Amino acid sequence: MAKKMELDRGRQTGPQLYEFLRQKIIDLKLAPGAVLSRAELAAEFKISQTPVREALLKLAQENLVDVIPQASTRVSLIDVSFARETHFLRQSIELELVRELTLNPNPAATDALQSLLQRLEVLRDTGKLAAFTEADRAFHFTLYEYTDKEPLWHLVRSRSGHLDRLRRLHLPVVGKQNQIIDDHRRILKAIVAQDVAEAQQALRDHLSGTLVYVSQLQADYPDLFAYE
């Protein structure tokens, strides 16, 4: 099991455990196919099985774990079809978000995006993949935040686990971090220039980057994927 998290006993434990396990799944520290025992998790965190059950149920609703009644709970294998569906949803939404930001200049938004771009540049090639991923995610969240579309972010997030794991597998590939930074720089430059067509094309190219490499990722990590 991954490094133990200290629970805040002043808050509900179920949501905390859910966030902890979800992040470990997304970071591939809990690998696809890994068994999650309710009893062992309850013992490890010194809590009852009720919040553990709640956390696992929420993960199951996001298709991140497979619950087999009276048997076991396992981290789901990566489902490429589900990832592609999420990509379609996310791209459809974010194309409109960059259009809105481009047509309605917002200095606070561009400053926030620039700051996150600089953060990515600092983290590049440091080996801090989780921190780099979080900065990448924050860049995209900013698009939702400054267009007052945060509920849509939560919708996309609830479906993004399989796509996020694909991106995490792809991230260590040589040149991938540079490509992410270049893509973000291109998106931001187009927003500042109020060039809608370029902003949308830059976003489309960026979001499609990992899916182009799915076949190679499946060849490199065959045991991590679900197959029909």
Beta strands in the chain (DSSP E): 35-36, 65-68, 72-75
* % of residues, the chain, pLDDT over 90: 89
pLDDT band at 6 (very low <50, low <70, confident <90, very high): confident
Report the mean per-residue pLDDT for the chain: 94
74-100 burial, b if ≥16 CB within 10 A, otherwise e?
bbbbbbbebbeebbebbbebbbebbbb
In the chain, what are the domain boundaries?
13-75, 80-224
pLDDT of residue 227: 87
Rounded distance between C-alpha atoms, residue 213 and residue 143, angstroms: 26
Cβ neighbours for 73, distance < 8 A, ≥ 6 positions apart:
35, 36, 37, 38, 56, 60, 65, 66, 67
For the stretch 57-76, pLDDT in tens is 999 999 999 988 777 899 99
**Integer Cα distance of 10 and 2 in angstroms:** 23
Joined tokens for residue 167: 């991106």
Give the count of beta carbons closer than 10 Å to the beta carbon of residue 71.
8
d(CA 81, CA 22): 20
Does 3.30.1490.20 match the CATH number of domain 80-224?
A: no
Indicate whether 38 pLDDT > 70: yes
| Residue 71: per-residue pLDDT | 73
Confidence of residue 2 (pLDDT cuts 50, 70, 90): very low
Q: What is the pLDDT of residues 92-140, one digit of tens each?
A: 999 999 999 999 999 999 999 999 999 999 999 899 999 999 999 999 9
Burial 111-128 (b: 16+ CB within 10 A, else e): ebbeebbebbeebeeeee
Cα distance between residue 155 and residue 105, in whole Å: 26
CATH pick for 13-75 out of 3.40.50.2300, 1.20.1050.10, 3.30.930.10, 1.10.10.10: 1.10.10.10
CA distance 67 to 59: 10
Question: What span, in angstroms and rounded, lies between the C-alpha atoms of 101 and 144?
Answer: 10
pLDDT in tens, 163-204: 999 999 999 999 999 999 999 999 999 999 999 999 999 999
Predicted local confidence at residue 12, as pLDDT: 86
The conformational region for residue 133 under phi > 0 = left, psi -120 to 50 = alpha, else beta, is alpha
Say yes or no to pLDDT of 81 above 50. Answer: yes
pLDDT at residue 4 in the model? 62
pTM for this structure? 0.91
